[in-house]
Structures are given as C-alpha cells and as structure tokens.
Chains A and B, each alone.
Chain A
Amino acid sequence: MKNKKFQADRVRSYFRIEWKVLLVVTISGLIYNLGLLAGPWFEGQMTGCLVNILQGSDHFTDMLILVTSYVVAIAVVQISRYVKRFYVRRFANNVNRRMKEILYGSLVSKSRASLRKEGEGDVMTKAILDVDDCVEGMRKFTTEIFDTGVALAAYAGMLLWYDWRLALLCMIFPPVSYTIAEKMKRVVQKTGAAYKVQSGALSAATLDRGKNASTYRVFGREQERQEAYEKNLSDYEQSAVKANIWNAVMPPIYRIISMGGVLFILYFGQKNVLGNGWSSWDIAAFTTFLACFVKLSVKSSRAAKLFNAVHKAEVSWKRICPLMKQKDAQPGAAGAESCELEVSGLTFSYPDGKTVLRDISFTAKPGQITGITGAVACGKSTLGKVFLCEYPYEGKILLNGEELQEKQPSERNGSIGYLGHDPELFNDTIEHNILMGDSANAEQYLQEVCLDQEVAEMEQGMQTLVGNGGVRLSGGQAQRLALARTLCHRRPLLILDDPFSALDQKTEREIFDKLKQNYPDTAILLISHRLYLFPEMDQVIWMEDGQATVSDHETLMRQIPEYAKFFAEQNGGSEYEA
C-alpha cells in the first residue's frame, strides 16, 4: 500500500496500486474470454463426433473423452469468469474507497470559513458522489476490455482462422447495426428530455391538486381542474410513449441487422462443407463457425456500452481530479498544560467589512472564570469565535506570551477548547460523542455536567444513539453532552458560548460549581446572556457595540447602569429567558 509514486490526481496511480487485484483480473479475464471459444468449438466437435459414431467410424469412448473435456473446459472457463467478475468489483470497491478517503481527508482538514464561504462544502459533497460514477466507469472499462475487447478479438480471430474471406464478409453487419444505434441516440436523447419535462409537469400538477384541494373545492373549480389534469395525463402519455418506444423497439432490430451475416455463412459455409468453397470444412467447423458468429454479433452490441462508460467516467473524473490532493499528516502537537491569556488592542471585522470588535484588552489566568455578557448583537459571541482564528484579527492575543495567529492550527487547537451555540453532536452513541475515539471514562464527564442520572435512565444508557444532530435529546441534554465532550478533551483555555441557555438555574449552578472545582488550572471564558452566576465570576466583561468594559460584578453594578438593569431584570423574574 505504501507506494511512493502514488499520485492522488492521476487515474493511473489507482490502477497501479491495485496491480495485484488487476493481475488476477487479467489472468482470469484472458482465460475466460479466450475460453469462450471452447463452447462453440466443443459443440461443433461433439456434433461431428456424433455424426461419426452414427456412421460407425468413431466409438463411444471418443465421445466420452470429448464430453468430459467439454465439461471440464466449460467449468474452468466459468470459474475464471466468476473470479474475474468478483475481482473486477473488488478493484472498483478498493478504488472507490481510496478516492473517497482522499476526498474526505482533504474535506475534513479544510477550514470552516472556506467550506462555508466558497461553497466548497457543496463541491466536496458532490465530488464524493462523483466518485461513484467515476469508479463505475473504471469498472466497466476494466470489464469490457476483456469481455468485449478480448472476446471480440478472439471470436473474430477464430472466424478468420476458419475462413478469412467468409469471416470478413459476415463481419460487415455488426458495425452497421452499431452505426445505426449511434444515429438513433440523438432521437432517444431528445424524446427523453421531453419526457422528463412532462413527468415534472405531471408531478407538479398532482402536487397542486393536493396542496390547493380545498381552494379548488370552495371556488367550484374541481371539475375544470380535473379536465386540466386529464390534459396533463394525455401529454404525459404521449411523451412517455415517444421516449420509451425507441429503447424497446430498436434492440431486436439491431440484432436482426447484425445477424445478417448468417445468410453468407449458410451459403458459403455449405459450399465449404460440400468441398467447393473457399475452405474445406466438416460439419463441426460449420456449426462452430455459425455459433461463433452468433456470439460475436451479440457481443458487438456491447461495444457502445464500453465507450459510454469511459466517457461518463471521464466527465466525473474531470470534476474530482482537482480536489484529489493527499494531505500531509500533521503531527498533533500537544498544547501547554496551563496558559496565561493576554488580549490587547483586539479589533475584528468580518470579511464583508463590518467591524464587530473594537480595541479590546484583558487578561485571564489559569483557574480564573471570566464572564462575558452584553445585549443582543453586542459582539460577545464574535469575541469567543475570534479565538478560533477562522478570520484574521488585528491586535494581539497572546497565549503564554505567544501570538495565537502565528501558531500552527494543530497547536492552536491543542490549547483552546471552544463550545458554540450549536452542540454539533454526531449521529452516534452518547459515549462515542463524548470520547470521540479517546479512551477515558465517559461516566465521569457525564457527572460533571449533571447528565449521568438522565443517561442512566435511558434504556441503553451510554450506548443510546443521539440521532442526527442529537435530535433524540432535549435541547438541554444536547448542550450538556456537548459540554461533556469539550471537558473530555481538556484544553488550558476554555471558551464556552452560552452553554447553559436551555438549562434551569439549579442545574446551571451545579455544573458551574463542578467546573470551578474540577478545573482549577483552566482559564474559562464564559459567554452568557444570563447573569445570576456573574457575582461569582473572577472577572466580568461587559460588551457594548463591540467595545468591552473589563472589571468585576460589583464594580460593573455601580458603574454601568445597563448592566445593573440587565442583572436586576433577570433576578426579578427568576425564570427569565431572553
């Protein structure tokens, strides 16, 4: 597997890396397709032998040898066919898997900003679908190279060997039928497109009748709509017949045309047998030749499929190719054990130019919990996201004296834990959602976020599947599960954006106390719109219009009337939800 020359953006590489499988395919393919000649040949021989036995010149044992070798030959050929088919598909599966892994690998390492902004996410999703088409084409190509290419050559060779003039004569017909089929393709495509339009119209009309049924009934339009629908049906019927009839009617016709050579075979073949033709044949040769030709003309209709498959694969490959880049493995640099945070003169604008944060400065030490709050759209969430370095900022964010923006992503992610509004859960079990492949005691983290009781009550406990995006959990459960996951992947600086919004006060306080107690070395930035925990914060940042006032709860209560009002409002109505 470790082929140094493997280039993800070269189709050949995929063939090369699978050489073992392809070797099996080649050997079995050759045996199978060349062996196909054995069928007609033996059948001819057996007929000939039967004639001889009837005339008394051959014996039963001759026939016994013949039929035994016939069955053995067919068995060998058919077993090779099985091997070939099986391995061609395995080859396709391997390539499919490899391509998807490469695509997925580059997808997962792309930044969120580029995935969102440039629609790269969609492009990648489509590319992964394209892989199926492309590999399907590669598979058909590999299959048809043997089944059509080798087989046709073998049949043609055999015909030529028996009587080259007659062979050339009767081999005119299959290409004729192929050419006609190609010509018909345009009609087929045109009527097919018209059919698609009509079938869309029919679905739309049906949907309309379903959606607006009561309107039509109230306004007395049902009769008229039914008549209009009838017209839709008639149009659909017409276009469906037109589109499908060619595909149904033509194949037998093509077969008749390619079988035209049979007339020549009968005419010249009998001459050969009777001894006044181009070659001298016996009955065996005659029937073999005829059987061979029939197989050739059936096969030749498949040639078109080969070209179609290759063409389709090319189109999808062109789309995927630029995305096929193998990423270099990044060593996962471990972050520091604890960190001192120093933010100074931080100013941030989104790429569209809107300035959200202006000149913010503060520090945070290990074990400190900093509360960040402010009105809606004051920039508090953005302040949290800036630490993810998804977009460049101005000013400084120093972690243990090192500039955050200059660190490698993997090192940065090793120092900062972030949990946003969206719990971003995976469609997997609760345990896997917490551990995500790590080995730790998930139970402990469930306790820390006060979720252990609820999980224990679930039928399958920690093995409960949370559903797509966590739909099977309540909002509060999902939030706590995401928090447990964040805690499990411990980082010296933790940024939590409104992690308690769906929780009741009691639980919120309980979790808060546990956080304080269990993570004495972690600097925590807690962004929240609910303030009743704020009196216990080591530091409080009040945000307004992108600017920050850094102080503590008491001071802010005195100095910032909005903060005081905010706090009072929430403590007045204890179940206040913004």
Chain B
Amino acid sequence: MKRDGQVRDVIGNTIKEKKLLSGAIVCTVLGAVLVSLVPPLILAQIVDRLTAGKDVTAVLMLLYFGMLALTGLLESVREGLLIVFGQKITHALRSRLMKKFGRLTTDNVNRQEPGTLVSRFVGDVDTVEKLFTSGIISMFADACRIVSILVVIWFRNRGLSLILLLLLPVLFLFTRQIQKRMLAAQIENRRAVGRASAYVPETLHNIRTIHCLKKETYMEEKYDQYIGVSYQAMERTNFYDAVYSPVILILNAVVVAVVMLLSASGNGKILTLFGMSAGTAVAVLSYISQIFRPVESLGMEIQTIQSAIAGIHRINEFFALEEKKEHPKSTGVRATKEVPFVEFRDVTFGYEEHVVLEHMSFKVMDGEQATLSGRTGAGKSTILKLLLGLYEPLEGDVLIHGVPAVQIGEEERRRLFGYVEQSFHMVPGTVRDQITLFDERITESQIRKAAELTGLQDAIEGLEHGYDTICTPELFSQGQWQLLSIARATAAGPSLLLLDEITANLDADTEKTVLQALNRAAQNRTVISISHRTSAKMGKIIAL
C-alpha cells in the first residue's frame, strides 16, 4: 500500500526536514519543565537559611529570580517555535493535498464539492495544527511536568508522592467526567441558541401572518420559551464550570493539610515518610499547587486531540482517493499529412457500469470540420473528454496525430486544443487572466487578437482599467462571458477547436454574436463541435 500521502508521513517528513527546529522544540519543552522545578528548591534553601538565622546570599536570590526568568524565557521560546513548526506542518500538508488534487482522476476531481474542498484544505488542516501546538506537545509537556514534580517530591517528601500517586488518577477521571459533561451541555446549548436565533429571521419572514392573526404575544412567548431552553443548557455548563475549580482547590488544601499534619505528628515512623524542614514545606506547598494544573490541561488536550482525529481521518480519506495513471508524456506532437489529426480506433468507454461508447471509430483529418450529433446522453461530451485526455478509453485508442490523447503533455495542450466550454468558468483575476489562464507565454498581441476575434476588444478597452480590470460576475453580460470563453480557447492559437454545446440562456441577438465569433474562430482550423446550430456549415457529421 502506498502511504506517502498520509498525514503521519507529512508530519514525519517535516520533522526530518526541520531537524534543528524539532530539536529546539524538544529542548525547550524539556528545559522548561526541568528549570521550573528549580525555583521552589532554591526557595526551600532560602527559607531554611532564614530559619537558621543566616542571611541569604545575593547569588541565591539572583539564582531564584534567574530560574523563574529562565522558565519564562524557555516557555516563550517554546511557544514561538511551536507556532513556526505548526505552520510548517500545515504548509506541507496543504501543499501535499494540492498535489494530490492535481493527480486525481477526472472523475474524482468532478466529485469534489468546492465548499467541502475548502473545509478539507483549510479547516481540517487547521485542526492538525492544533493537534500539534495545543495537543500532543503540550500533553507531553504536562506529562513530563507531572512526572518530574512527582520525582522531586519523592526525594523531598516520600509520603506526599504516595498520596499524590493515589490521588492523581482519581483527579484525572474526575476532570474528564466534568469536561465531557460540559462539552455535551455546550453542544446542547449551541443547538438551542441556533434554534432561538433562527427564530428571528423566521419572524421577519412571516411577519404578515403574525400581524394578521394577532399572534405577537404568542410569538414572544415562544421566543422566550426557546431562550429558556438555551438558558437551561447554559445553566448546566455554568454549573460544571463553577464547580470544577473549587473542588480541585479544596482538594489541594486537604492534601496540604494532611502533609502538614503528618509532618508535625512527631511519630518516628510517619516522619520517615513525611518529615521535612520548613524550607521543604514551602517548596512542597508550591509543588502541590503546580501539580494540579497540568491535570486540568491534560483533559483539555485529550479533547483537542479527539476532535483533531476526526479531521485527520477526513484528510487521509482524501489522500486515499484514486489517482489518474501516469503516462510518459510525449513531446513535439507534429502534424503530418498521412496521419489523421484525430482518430478514434474501436473505442469503448463507460463510467463505472454504464457503457457510453461501444466500438466507436472515426477519423478527422487536418483542416476538416466535423460535428458530433446524437440525442442527449449518447456520449457527445464524452468524446470531447476522451479527446482532451481527461479519461482513458477502456478499449481501443484515442489518437491525436497518432499519439494517445492521455500522453499529451500539459505544455502542448493549448497549442493543440482550444476547448470552448459549455459555460464560462471565471477565474479569480483580471480580464487578461481570464484569457490567458495565468499563462505568461501568451503574448500581449495574442491576447488582443483573441479579443478582437470574438469582438470583445471594444467592451474590454472601454473598462476603466482595460485588460487589467479585476473580474466580477457583474462585469460582463452572459453573452460576453461566452465570448470570453472563445477568446480563452483561441488565445494560444490552437490547431484543433473543440466546441461544446453552449448551455447558457442567450437571447437571439446575443446568440447570433456568439455564433459569428465561433465561425470566425473556426476558420483555418480543424473543428469538432457538438451538434451546434452552426452545424450546417460544420462539415461532416459523426452520428452517435
């Protein structure tokens, strides 16, 4: 199984490529955890010295503050590096996704809903970033922190570490329970809020009925009822939100109290476990409050990871989609007298179970004009798609100048084919971009010639910024867009023109203009068109 597209591999590769960055993150994560252990220990020293009536050296003071500052600095660097690293991963992931998109079979491309594509590329990838920045790595840091504090406490107050070892799992389960219930309550609340806010546009829409039936009060009462439902759900989240910290802090106090009590017990056996000096007591107090915080974060991190996993799953699904077969790309497809420009040799093709073309054969010679005719669904558009190399025939050959259509390289396409699509697809950019499709090899004079051919030059030059006007759907009329699509098809001077049926509703006058432009474009070219109304003039008929 080919797995190079998986999210895991992208992350792995990024880590490998950015060794320095990844190393620095590990260092800062561990560094911050370890350094943060030091200040309470120094404080313990300070307190012990003071208890003994000795003064505190300047070195000790500076060291204390210095360690606090170093912890902060390391945390700061860690957070910064995580941002950079997270962005590197999202960049790599999106880049890989886009490459995959380019390699998909035409069928799969057409199946991708643009909106879903955006949520896959933008939203889901962002959750992967979160998985890293606020999921796995901080989880690791929190786990390290808990372990390291436990280790330190083990040496300082063995009994306490035993108590904590017993307490922490319980605490963690409690945290998870609260968080899960809170999430459920939040989801319910969101649903209720959604219902309440949908009620307002509904009211606006039905205001006439409300007035007519004198239902103002009824509507107000119902609105209040909807708010009431969301209010109740919110009270529940409020409850969990309000109850959590007090419980934790009371627990914190109880642990402190028990430790203090035991270390003051004076019982020798207990003291082997709980005995400590005043300085250690100060340090232990600070560690206890430090160990409760990561437990809470651990719960949140698990939540983040859970929601990210769904996103990763969807991305991996995308990576698993079927790709088109790679073919050796031919270069320099040349026209010769003997070989027909287009040849279908015993072609059979279908989508999944449904066979569209069976043993189809025809030839179109250089300079010839041909029209495909047949009822809807007979496979006219399919022939154009096979010609364009979008699909591969199941059997037989689709040849362009004797070369299989799927082997024609990207670079050569526009020199060979000009395809006028059923409807115009506006790309983001200027009028010029609509014609060139961002192809810088198309010269200014070619652009102007294409515009002239379609009779659009006046309309374009009449715009405020001419060819540099940014396109919006309102810029041109439907007919003009259709003309622009002819200009796009002919700009690179292709020798074969493929005309799909224009589906746009054009009025009679506009249609005439479009047809005239098509006729001009068809001159001196090989043309294959789909039963267009110009068909009378379009040479031989290929019936389906």
Q: Residues of A with Cβ closer than 8 Å to B? A: 39, 43, 46-51, 53-54, 60, 63-64, 66-68, 70-71, 74-75, 78-79, 81-82, 85-86, 89-90, 93, 96-97, 100-101, 104-105, 107-112, 115, 121, 124-125, 128-129, 199, 202-226, 228-230, 233-234, 236-237, 240-241, 244-245, 248-253, 255-256, 259-260, 262-263, 266-267, 270-271, 273-274, 283, 286-287, 290, 330, 332, 388, 409-410, 413-414, 416-418, 420, 422, 424-427, 436-437, 468-469, 482, 485-486, 489
CB distance from B298 to the nearest CB of A (A): 20
Q: Which of B82, B114, B254 contacts A248 (CB 8 A)?
A: B82
Contact with A along B92-110 (1 / 0, CB 8 A): 0011001101100010011
Closest 4 CB pairs of A and B: A210-B114, A220-B413, A78-B246, A248-B79
A101 to B413, CA, bound (A): 64
CB distance from B226 to the nearest CB of A (A): 10
A468 to B1, CA, bound (A): 47
Q: Residues of B with Cβ closer than 8 Å to A? A: 43, 46-47, 50-51, 53, 55-56, 58, 61-62, 64-65, 68-69, 71-73, 75-77, 79-80, 82-84, 87-88, 90-91, 94-95, 98-99, 101-102, 106, 109-110, 112-115, 117-118, 121-122, 197-198, 200-216, 218-224, 227-228, 231, 234-235, 238-239, 241-243, 245-247, 249-250, 252-254, 256-258, 260-261, 263-266, 276-278, 281-282, 285, 388, 390, 409-414, 417, 419, 421, 425, 427-428, 437-439, 488
CB distance from B98 to the nearest CB of A (A): 5
Q: Which of B50, B84, B249, B390 contacts A218 (CB 8 A)?
A: B390
Decide: A85 and B242 in contact? CB cutoff 8 A: yes
Decide: B231 and A82 in contact? CB cutoff 8 A: no
CB distance from A439 to the nearest CB of B (A): 12
Please, could you name 7 A-B residue pairs with CB atoms under 8 Å apart, sorted by A?
A68-B257, A71-B253, A125-B201, A207-B114, A215-B421, A221-B437, A413-B211
Q: Which of B84, B95, B421 contacts A241 (CB 8 A)?
A: B84
CB distance from A535 to the nearest CB of B (A): 30
- Of B115, B209, B215, B238, chain A has the most CB atoms within 10 Å of the CB of B209
Decide: A436 and B56 in contact? CB cutoff 8 A: no
Decide: B278 and A128 in contact? CB cutoff 8 A: no
CB distance from B120 to the nearest CB of A (A): 9
Q: Which residues of B contact A79 (CB under 8 A)?
A: 246
A53 to B266, CA, bound (A): 9
**Number of inter-chain CB pairs below 8 Å:** 335
Q: Which residues of A contact B276 (CB under 8 A)?
A: 50
Q: Which residues of B contact A286 (CB under 8 A)?
A: 47, 50
Q: Which of A43, A81, A249, A482 contacts B80 (CB 8 A)?
A: A249
Decide: B278 and A47 in contact? CB cutoff 8 A: yes
A93 to B249, CA, bound (A): 27
A436 to B87, CA, bound (A): 54
A78 to B210, CA, bound (A): 49
Given contacts A93-B231, A426-B206, A485-B213, is CB(A218)–CB(B427) below 8 Å?
Answer: no
Decide: B266 and A410 in contact? CB cutoff 8 A: no
Q: Which residues of A contact B95 (CB under 8 A)?
A: 229-230, 233
Decide: A108 and B208 in contact? CB cutoff 8 A: no
A60 to B266, CA, bound (A): 8
A108 to B220, CA, bound (A): 8
Q: Which residues of B contact A100 (CB under 8 A)?
A: 223, 227
Decide: B87 and A266 in contact? CB cutoff 8 A: no
Given A79-B246, A110-B207, A208-B427, list of 6 further CB < 8 A pairs?
A67-B257, A78-B245, A85-B241, A124-B200, A203-B122, A267-B61
Decide: A203 and B256 in contact? CB cutoff 8 A: no
Give A223's nearest chain B residue, CB to CB. Answer: B410
Decide: A70 and B76 in contact? CB cutoff 8 A: no
CB distance from B198 to the nearest CB of A (A): 7
Give B264's nearest chain A residue, CB to CB. Answer: A63
CB distance from A411 to the nearest CB of B (A): 10
Give A205's nearest chain B residue, CB to CB. Answer: B428
Decide: B102 and A226 in contact? CB cutoff 8 A: yes
A335 to B21, CA, bound (A): 79
Q: Which residues of B contact A255 (CB under 8 A)?
A: 72
Given contacts A249-B80, A270-B56, is CB(A210)–CB(B112) below 8 Å?
Answer: yes
Give B266's nearest chain A residue, CB to CB. Answer: A60
A221 to B239, CA, bound (A): 57
CB distance from A328 to the nearest CB of B (A): 12
Given contacts A270-B56, A417-B212, A436-B215, is CB(A215)–CB(B437) below 8 Å?
Answer: yes
A436 to B215, CA, bound (A): 8
Decide: A220 and B212 in contact? CB cutoff 8 A: no
- Of A71, A108, A332, A422, chain B has the most CB atoms within 10 Å of the CB of A108
A283 to B90, CA, bound (A): 53
Q: Which residues of B contact A437 (CB under 8 A)?
A: 215, 218, 221-222
Decide: A283 and B87 in contact? CB cutoff 8 A: no
CB distance from B433 to the nearest CB of A (A): 11
Given contacts A51-B278, A223-B410, is CB(A241)–CB(B72) below 8 Å?
Answer: no
A527 to B380, CA, bound (A): 48
CB distance from A239 to the nearest CB of B (A): 10
Given contacts A417-B212, A420-B208, is CB(A107)–CB(B413) below 8 Å?
Answer: no
A292 to B439, CA, bound (A): 67
Decide: A388 and B242 in contact? CB cutoff 8 A: no
CB distance from A237 to the nearest CB of B (A): 5
Given contacts A129-B197, A207-B114, A388-B208, is CB(A263)–CB(B61) below 8 Å?
Answer: yes
Decide: A222 and B61 in contact? CB cutoff 8 A: no
- Of B64, B264, B388, chain A has the most CB atoms within 10 Å of the CB of B264
A28 to B200, CA, bound (A): 37
Q: Which of B51, B91, B254 contacts A283 (CB 8 A)?
A: B51
Decide: A71 and B257 in contact? CB cutoff 8 A: yes
A125 to B196, CA, bound (A): 12
Decide: A206 and B121 in contact? CB cutoff 8 A: yes
CB distance from A565 to the nearest CB of B (A): 28
A426 to B207, CA, bound (A): 11
Decide: B245 and A81 in contact? CB cutoff 8 A: yes
Q: Which residues of A contact B439 (CB under 8 A)?
A: 219, 221, 224
A219 to B428, CA, bound (A): 16
Given contacts A206-B121, A219-B419, A283-B50, is CB(A112)–CB(B223) below 8 Å?
Answer: no
Q: Which of A89, A101, A234, A482 contacts B220 (CB 8 A)?
A: A101
A385 to B211, CA, bound (A): 13
A263 to B68, CA, bound (A): 11
CB distance from A95 to the nearest CB of B (A): 12
Decide: B202 and A426 in contact? CB cutoff 8 A: yes
Decide: B64 and A266 in contact? CB cutoff 8 A: yes
Q: Which of A93, A125, A252 contacts B204 (CB 8 A)?
A: A125
A437 to B222, CA, bound (A): 9
Decide: B282 and A287 in contact? CB cutoff 8 A: yes
CB distance from A93 to the nearest CB of B (A): 5
- Of B234, B250, B417, chain A has the most CB atoms within 10 Å of the CB of B250
Given contacts A240-B87, A424-B208, is CB(A214)–CB(B79) below 8 Å?
Answer: no
Given contacts A90-B235, A413-B212, is CB(A70)–CB(B73) below 8 Å?
Answer: no
Q: Which residues of A contact B46 (CB under 8 A)?
A: 266, 270
Q: Which residues of A contact B263 (CB under 8 A)?
A: 50
Given contacts A210-B117, A222-B102, A270-B46, is CB(A121)–CB(B213) below 8 Å?
Answer: no
Q: Which residues of A contact B249 (CB under 8 A)?
A: 74, 78
A225 to B102, CA, bound (A): 9
Decide: B223 and A101 in contact? CB cutoff 8 A: yes
A49 to B83, CA, bound (A): 47
Decide: A108 and B216 in contact? CB cutoff 8 A: yes
Give A199's nearest chain B residue, CB to CB. Answer: B122
Q: Which of A39, A249, A263, A388 contacts B76 (CB 8 A)?
A: A249
Decide: B109 and A214 in contact? CB cutoff 8 A: yes
CB distance from A302 to the nearest CB of B (A): 15
Decide: B260 and A81 in contact? CB cutoff 8 A: no
Q: Which residues of A contact B118 (CB under 8 A)?
A: 203, 206-207, 210
Give A416's nearest chain B residue, CB to CB. Answer: B212
Given contacts A209-B101, A214-B106, is CB(A112)–CB(B211) below 8 Å?
Answer: yes
CB distance from B18 to the nearest CB of A (A): 13
